[in-house]
Amino acid sequence: KNEVEQSPQNLTAQEGEFITINCSYSVGISALHWLQQHPGGGIVSLFMLSSGKKKHGRLIATINIQEKHSSLHITASHPRDSAVYICAAWRLYQFYFGTGTSLTVIP
């Protein structure tokens, strides 16, 4: 069983929709990162969370340490948000990655 689980695996949305991607982990962690990977492979780090909530533009990330759960929200989704979103839990000096959520936003 993967220590980090993401859902859904695939997500298709209409432009403008509110999107939520979930990440659950089964062990204690120091921090959780959200990454964005565009076709071709390039990865961008979106957020690092150890508690609470962070916001950057249309992206919001939350984490509940007690429930071992994090969510990434995208408000007013746009086709340029189409990418794979990966959560990564930092534990014992390494990352444990979720399997990713492939998001497609249709105009």
Partner 1 sequence: EAGVTQSPTHLIKTRGQQATLRCSPISGHTSVYWYQQALGLGLQFLLWYDEGEERNRGNFPPRFSGRQFPNYSSELNVNALELEDSALYLCASSFGTDYDQPQHFGDGTRLSIL
**33 forms part of the interface with partner 1 (CB under 8 A):** yes
10 is an interface residue for partner 1 by CB under 8 A: no
Other residues' Cβ atoms within 10 Å of the Cβ of residue 102 = 15
User: Looking at the DSSP assignment, which residues form a beta bridge with residue 62?
Assistant: 53, 71
Nearest to 28 by CA among 61, 2, 7, 3: 3
Contact 77, 15 (CB under 8 A): yes
Among 43, 76, 78, 106, contact with partner 1 (rule: CB under 8 A)? 43
User: Segment near partner 1 (CB under 8 A), from 12-20, 32-40, 57-65, 68-76?
Assistant: 32-40
Candidate residues 21, 72, 86, 105; the one interacting with partner 1 per rule CB under 8 A: 86
**Among 22, 24, 62, 99, contact with partner 1 (rule: CB under 8 A):** 99
Structure tokens at 38: 């565009």
CA–CA separation, 55 vs 91, rounded Å? 23
Provide the binding-site residues for partner 1, judged by CB under 8 A: 30-31, 33, 35, 40-45, 48, 50, 86, 88, 90, 92-100
